[in-house]
Structure 1
Amino acid sequence: MSETTRKPFQFSQDDVRIDKRETVFQGFFRMERLHLSHALFAGGETGAFERELFLRGDATCVLPYDPVRDEVVLLEQFRPGALWRDQSPWLLELVAGMNEPGETPEDVAHREADEEAGLTFRRLEKICQYLVSPGGTTEMVSLYCGHVSTEGAGGLYGLAEENEDIRAHVMAAEDALRMIADGRINNAAAIIALQWLAMQRNRLKEEWS
């Protein structure tokens, strides 16, 4: 078989050798340094090298959608990772939270909907799971769309003990999609979920109404 006809995913976890793991930082999150090598496509393996890895844990994100009103709920809050960009560090995002031990992603979705937006999901539909930035972090996001009523939704939420200050915005789905097009929404979870909604809106209006 030539190199041009080989199928992807010929390697597995068994094709990576980790000689040493060391913790280089332990706070709210943990950073490790790996000493490793791995198989090469052309045969043999790499020499030993080092990589730092951010062990963040997995998360769940949900796009609340009202199929009757054709509206979504997006949350505005401060994010330090958006500082020093040519934009506001207050972002429009999805309902989201870290998965705690013993919780399913669905458990997290329902918990965070209440805490962050005062919402109750009537049902959840899974969109996908994706690795956030696998070159440097272990985080996997479980992404959902949640059926809600936006009647009376919106307002200020968040847990003071977690330093959360959240404003929940109700907006037309079309307006949210325009914010992707013009760059006002530029975080991955919201972009993926809203683009999925653009493809699935007609079906959800039929099935969820």
Structure 2
Amino acid sequence: MTPIPGIDIPDARGRTGLDRAGRDLTGNPDVTVRDVELLATAWHVLRRTTYDFRRSDGTVTREQRETYDRGDGATVLLYDAERGTVLLTRQFRYPVYVNGHPDGRFVETAAGLLDGDDPAAAVRREASEELGVVIGELEPVFAVWMSPGSVTERVHCFAAPYSAASRLGPGGGLADDGEDIEAVEMPFAEALERIGTGRIADAKTVMLLQWAALRGPFRQAAPSTR
């Protein structure tokens, strides 16, 4: 039998056993994984999993789901509370361009995959690479699954202050990774307004901006009860 890259022998990224994902899950007694097929492993991993699912009425159905595994990610909202600004990125995103965005130049918080780092280390790396910012204090905000119907990725979301003194590098991303990233600084109020007009339409960025308004550095003082 011919060895299969990604299963029996390393694929282009040195991975094996990619068909094992999910086979040892025991947290839900109503789900029994029966088979895992690899559909694509060019960079990230596309799998088709067959499992038995016991429904609420007791019947058992056999179902299939395709999952796209690109690893987990991390992102950070950089803010200057004193000046009332946030620092975001703008870069071309083909997937949004092909699905209705006017030009694909997407405004969002600095972000990237963990690539073996813990979330805090990863987000410090991405802020430095993309925006040239060296992060000091870092606040964990939440961790969310962005597209739970098909994508396994969980995004760890942080917030951190920045200032002119913390912008120590050129930013712009890594040219070797095809990145061409522009720093976009704007008043926080403008960023919130852009959510309503659709000029900021990235989910993680929308959530972090709304968190900043409701519970974070730009929350308004609670009204007096007197």
TM-score range, shorter chain: 0.7 to 0.9
**TM-aligned CA deviation for residue 48 of structure 1:** 1.2
The CA RMSD measured in Å over matched residues stands at 2.2
- In 2, Cα distance between the equivalents of 1:152 and 1:110? 12
- In 2, Cα distance between the equivalents of 1:175 and 1:150? 20
Contact 2:50-2:64 at 8 Å conserved across structures = yes
Asked if 1:31 is matched to 2:46, the reply is yes
After TM superposition, the structure 1 stretch with the greater mean CA deviation from structure 2, 24-33 or 85-94, is: 85-94
* Cα distance change on mapping 1:12 and 1:41 into 2, 3 Å: farther
* Cα distance change on mapping 1:117 and 1:86 into 2, 3 Å: closer
Task: Give the SS at the match of 1:41.
Answer: coil
**TM-aligned CA deviation for residue 56 of structure 1:** 1.3
Match of 1:114 among 128, 148, 158: 128
- In 2, Cα distance between the equivalents of 1:146 and 1:152? 11
Match of 1:61 among 75, 90, 101: 75
Residue aligning to 1:97? 112
* Cα distance change on mapping 1:162 and 1:63 into 2, 3 Å: same
**TM-aligned CA deviation for residue 77 of structure 1:** 0.1
> TM-score of the superposition, structure 1-length normalised?
0.85
Asked if 1:190 is matched to 2:205, the reply is yes
* Cα distance change on mapping 1:66 and 1:204 into 2, 3 Å: farther
Residue 117 of structure 1 aligns to which amino acid in structure 2? L
Between the two proteins, what is the percent identity of the paired residues?
31
Contact 1:35-1:48 at 8 Å conserved across structures = yes
**TM-aligned CA deviation for residue 196 of structure 1:** 0.4
Residue aligning to 2:174? 159
Contact 2:137-2:161 at 8 Å conserved across structures = yes
* Cα distance change on mapping 1:16 and 1:194 into 2, 3 Å: same
Residue aligning to 1:4? none
**Count, aligned residues:** 193
After TM superposition, the structure 1 stretch with the greater mean CA deviation from structure 2, 63-72 or 144-153, is: 144-153
| Residue segments in structure 2 that go unaligned for 5+ positions in a row | 1-25, 222-226
| Residue segments in structure 1 that go unaligned for 5+ positions in a row | 1-10
Match of 2:160 among 142, 146, 151: 146
> TM-score of the superposition, structure 2-length normalised?
0.79
Q: Which has the higher contact order (CA 8 A, sep 6+)?
A: 1
**TM-aligned CA deviation for residue 42 of structure 1:** 2.2
- In 2, Cα distance between the equivalents of 1:202 and 1:29? 37
* Cα distance change on mapping 1:202 and 1:94 into 2, 3 Å: closer
